[in-house]
Chain A
Amino acid sequence: MNSLLLQGGRVVDPANQRDETSDVLILDGKIAAVGPDAGKRAPGDVKKLNVSGQVVCPGLIDLHVHFREPGQTAKETIATGSAAAVRGGFTSVVCMPNTSPAIDSSATVALVQDRGEQAGLLNVYTSGAITKGIAGEELAQIGSLHKAGVVAITDDGHCIQNNDMMRRAMEYARMFNLPVMDHCQDYSLVTDGVMHEGYWSTLLGLRGWPAAGEEMIVARNILLAETTGCRVHCQHLSAAGSVRLIREAKKRGVPISGEACPHHFTLTDAAVAGSEKFWAEDGKTVFGYDQMSAALPAWPSYHTHFKMNPPLRSAADREAILEGLVDGTIEILASDHAPHCNYEKEVEFDYAPFGITGLETELALSLMQLYHAKRMSLPDLIAKFTVNPARLLALDKGTLSVGADADITVFDPDQEWVFDVNSSRSKSLNSPFHGWTLKGNPTKTIVGGKVVWSGGE
């Protein structure tokens, strides 16, 4: 039961500094042995799977997804979100609490956990709200949330503007060793901005969301992390200044971290002006441009699949995010998978909700922009999907150590495929990467020793 022998893959396990051609033996849902000789210890009846030419790594973790349950099930459910996640190679996800009602009580936490178990595909963790109803006014019952099993607290989608409130939340959360994650957005600077403030917002006549609106709160969070000693994690970083601030703070030993999303290190604000404008300049440095150039993906100006929060930024910001990932300033990759219904997105740009789906394209885009572009080694990239988020959230995951849960992702780093949003397993279709030729594709997603997704079947 839930036993399997993976033979001949390139086993990359950053938690154990392993990168070698090896076998992985799974017995009863746990890692039983890893090494060239692991196969010898397999009982005779264990199913064998030849994965030579593929990468075998700890199951990927995405600590930033919106599964919209409870309350927004027209966009996504925990079941459909889970299906998209395992197709993307993920074995664990962390749900954001900006549901309806918000995940600000132990009852809602239990509901999310139950639905995750019912879906039965992967480990569905949840974060809890920092404030009641994510309203930024009163602290949520953080102790109860902790007891109920949240792995972090955040008001994601919103940002606590009151600095004293944020400070107290950090002090309080530290009692439980809960990290505080923050969507960094200064409302007074951002006001009603809908895209990055710069040349393209000027040209398109769209209200700007200045980079300083993120950097201001990143700076605040650094100061408060330093004051309180609480671990603070800045979500979906988009701006060069944020990377600079975090790099400098980490050097001082401040307990601060950050995550980056593929859209922010692949696309730029030029994409809001349409594909022609994007490919004319900024798009040329996207990995695979030459391969795609025969049939570059096309989209019109003001397409709402290029509207997310924080917004796509300049080419210089994109470069800074990539550099931050390479030098370790940004330790974690995440999707900010944010499904929305077609009818919600098929409106004027100003009126469309922020957000795009991302779970199914995340691994490929990360491989393309970081590994295939020869910026980063495969182990370094995999660490940002496995051991690093596991450490931040104190999860017993992200490793192939003997005895650990057999959560494993097998992927072909070189397989080329075209992402068709109509075959997405998410309930929503709001991806900007429809029609893109991607490189790298999960072939097996294994959770607790059970194959929950298998490519090409």
Chain B
Amino acid sequence: MGSMAKTGESLMAWNRKHLLDIESLTAEEITTVLDTALAFKAVGERAIKKVPALRGKTVVNLFVEPSTRTRTSFELAEQRLSADIINFTAEASSLKKGETLKDTARNLEAMNVDVIVIRHSASGAPHFLSRVLNAHVVNAGDGAHEHPTQALLDVFTIREKKGSIAGLNVTILGDILYSRVARSDIWALTKLGAKVTLCGPATLVPKTFEQMGCRVTHNMEEAIRDADVINLLRIQHERQRKTMFPSINEYSRLFGLDRQRLGQTKPDALIMHPGPINRGVEIDSDIADGERSVVLQQVTNGLAVRMAVLFLVNGGKDPQEISAN
């Protein structure tokens, strides 16, 4: 997929008011976001990183579930697009006093906000909001459902390093069952033609995922042998220790990526992680910092991808014009 050559063509492929999930997107729409993000990445490398694309627009970051990384990334993306920003967290809001999400959102909308970026612990909350509001809704992670901008930055990073996605073997390791990143990644990767393998303990990687078009295995060696990309997901031991697996130590022994296992992978296999990393659990510390790790590029690209998403849902068409400013 020669991205720049196709830019003009694929930019036509975005008419969505919201970004709620990857599942409902077409491959063309995903490519449109990636191509748009490429232009915004160039903006981020200039001395003056700000463009006027969202000047006069108001964006609310409605983070009902706590988040540091994603919220910071969205905030910075919004600032670089010159939007006015309101940050809203559940702890310091009327949601804490029992106000419903619908009322909270409609009150915000009554102040004529243009975009609501929502993070919520309940799956489907952004979809619910999109039905009761006129504002644009961007999903910044809903429950165990989806985290679309994370998947977009993941495929952006893979495309940047590997040239294209089609035909790649991508292995996602760890807690798949509770992971919104996994679901969004599965949709984005399979839509773009990658072969996805899921691996982890049977309790966290049920066979049901095969129906989403993935291979499921509980054998780490088998999972990583042919992988072009290995995406490690965070193991949330605070939540799952009780019945999902016996111990962090056992998890690490069975599914952790250490130096010896790294030696069994393809020499050019990329190592990814959406963060925050548990060093020494799902990944050895020095691998996380090693030359095959693209963890920090993912963070950089996240900014460009989020700028692209905010730009597109607001009806933006050609980022080239913007970057000419």
Residues of A within 8 A of B (CB): 198-199, 202-207, 300-302, 343, 346-351
> Are A204 and B102 in contact, CB atoms less than 8 angstroms apart?
no
With both chains docked as a complex, state the minimum distance between the C-beta of B244 and any C-beta of chain A, in angstroms. Answer: 12
> Are A203 and B122 in contact, CB atoms less than 8 angstroms apart?
no
With both chains docked as a complex, state the minimum distance between the C-beta of B216 and any C-beta of chain A, in angstroms. Answer: 11
In the complex, chain B residues whose CB is within 8 Å of the CB of A204: 123-124, 145
In the complex, chain A residues whose CB is within 8 Å of the CB of B71: none
Considering the complex, give the chain A residue whose CB is closest to the CB of B24: A301
> Are B123 and A205 in contact, CB atoms less than 8 angstroms apart?
yes
With both chains docked as a complex, state the minimum distance between the C-beta of B63 and any C-beta of chain A, in angstroms. Answer: 15
Considering the complex, give the chain A residue whose CB is closest to the CB of B209: A202
4 nearest interchain CB pairs?
Answer: A205-B145, A302-B124, A205-B144, A348-B122
In the complex, chain B residues whose CB is within 8 Å of the CB of A350: 121-123, 143
Considering the complex, give the chain A residue whose CB is closest to the CB of B212: A203
With both chains docked as a complex, state the minimum distance between the C-beta of A406 and any C-beta of chain B, in angstroms. Answer: 48
Stretch at the interface among B54-62, B125-133, B163-171, B312-320: B125-133
Contact with A along B130-149 (1 / 0, CB 8 A): 01100000000011111000
With both chains docked as a complex, state the minimum distance between the C-beta of B126 and any C-beta of chain A, in angstroms. Answer: 10
> Are B183 and A349 in contact, CB atoms less than 8 angstroms apart?
no
Known contacts: A202-B206, A202-B212, A205-B144. The answer to whether A301 contacts B122 by CB under 8 A is: no
| B211 contacts partner chain A, Cβ-Cβ < 8 Å | yes
> Are A202 and B208 in contact, CB atoms less than 8 angstroms apart?
yes
Considering the complex, give the chain B residue whose CB is closest to the CB of A351: B122
Task: Select which of A199, A206, A300, A347 is within 8 A of B143 by beta carbon.
Answer: A206
> Are B122 and A199 in contact, CB atoms less than 8 angstroms apart?
no
Given contacts A202-B209, A203-B183, A204-B145, 5 further A-B contacts (CB under 8 A): A204-B123, A205-B142, A346-B102, A349-B124, A350-B123
In the complex, chain B residues whose CB is within 8 Å of the CB of A302: 123-124, 127-128
In the complex, chain B residues whose CB is within 8 Å of the CB of A202: 177, 206, 208-209, 211-212
| B180 contacts partner chain A, Cβ-Cβ < 8 Å | yes
> Are B128 and A348 in contact, CB atoms less than 8 angstroms apart?
yes
A-B contacts, 24 of them at CB < 8 A, read A198-B208, A202-B206, A202-B211, A203-B23, A203-B183, A204-B124, A205-B146, A205-B183, A206-B123, A206-B145, A207-B144, A300-B131, A301-B124, A301-B127, A302-B123, A302-B127, A346-B100, A347-B100, A347-B128, A348-B101, A348-B120, A349-B124, A350-B121, A350-B143
Q: Whole-angstrom distance between the alpha carbons of A199 and B183 in the complex?
A: 12
Of the listed residues A207, A300, A349, the one surrounded by the most CB atoms of chain B closer than 10 A to its CB is A349
Residues of B within 8 A of A (CB): 23, 100-102, 120-125, 127-128, 131-132, 142-146, 177, 180, 183, 206, 208-209, 211-212
In the complex, chain B residues whose CB is within 8 Å of the CB of A206: 123-124, 143-145
Considering the complex, give the chain A residue whose CB is closest to the CB of B206: A202
Q: Whole-angstrom distance between the alpha carbons of A300 and B130 in the complex?
A: 11
In the complex, chain A residues whose CB is within 8 Å of the CB of B102: 346-347
Q: Whole-angstrom distance between the alpha carbons of A205 and B128 in the complex?
A: 15
In the complex, chain B residues whose CB is within 8 Å of the CB of A343: 100
With both chains docked as a complex, state the minimum distance between the C-beta of A188 and any C-beta of chain B, in angstroms. Answer: 10
With both chains docked as a complex, state the minimum distance between the C-beta of B116 and any C-beta of chain A, in angstroms. Answer: 14
> Are A349 and B128 in contact, CB atoms less than 8 angstroms apart?
yes
> Are B143 and A205 in contact, CB atoms less than 8 angstroms apart?
yes
Q: Whole-angstrom distance between the alpha carbons of A300 and B124 in the complex?
A: 10
> Are A300 and B127 in contact, CB atoms less than 8 angstroms apart?
yes
Q: Whole-angstrom distance between the alpha carbons of A343 and B183 in the complex?
A: 30
In the complex, chain B residues whose CB is within 8 Å of the CB of A203: 23, 183, 212
Q: Whole-angstrom distance between the alpha carbons of A348 and B146 in the complex?
A: 15
Q: Whole-angstrom distance between the alpha carbons of A217 and B120 in the complex?
A: 34
In the complex, chain A residues whose CB is within 8 Å of the CB of B143: 205-206, 350
In the complex, chain B residues whose CB is within 8 Å of the CB of A205: 123-124, 142-146, 180, 183
With both chains docked as a complex, state the minimum distance between the C-beta of B235 and any C-beta of chain A, in angstroms. Answer: 18
Q: Whole-angstrom distance between the alpha carbons of A202 and B186 in the complex?
A: 12
With both chains docked as a complex, state the minimum distance between the C-beta of A14 and any C-beta of chain B, in angstroms. Answer: 43
In the complex, chain B residues whose CB is within 8 Å of the CB of A301: 124, 127
With both chains docked as a complex, state the minimum distance between the C-beta of B16 and any C-beta of chain A, in angstroms. Answer: 15
Considering the complex, give the chain B residue whose CB is closest to the CB of A344: B100
With both chains docked as a complex, state the minimum distance between the C-beta of B177 and any C-beta of chain A, in angstroms. Answer: 8
> Are A349 and B122 in contact, CB atoms less than 8 angstroms apart?
yes
Considering the complex, give the chain A residue whose CB is closest to the CB of B120: A348
Considering the complex, give the chain B residue whose CB is closest to the CB of A300: B131
Known contacts: A203-B183, A205-B143. The answer to whether A348 contacts B206 by CB under 8 A is: no
In the complex, chain A residues whose CB is within 8 Å of the CB of B144: 205-207
In the complex, chain A residues whose CB is within 8 Å of the CB of B180: 205
With both chains docked as a complex, state the minimum distance between the C-beta of B314 and any C-beta of chain A, in angstroms. Answer: 23
Q: Whole-angstrom distance between the alpha carbons of A351 and B64 in the complex?
A: 14
With both chains docked as a complex, state the minimum distance between the C-beta of B183 and any C-beta of chain A, in angstroms. Answer: 6
In the complex, chain A residues whose CB is within 8 Å of the CB of B146: 205
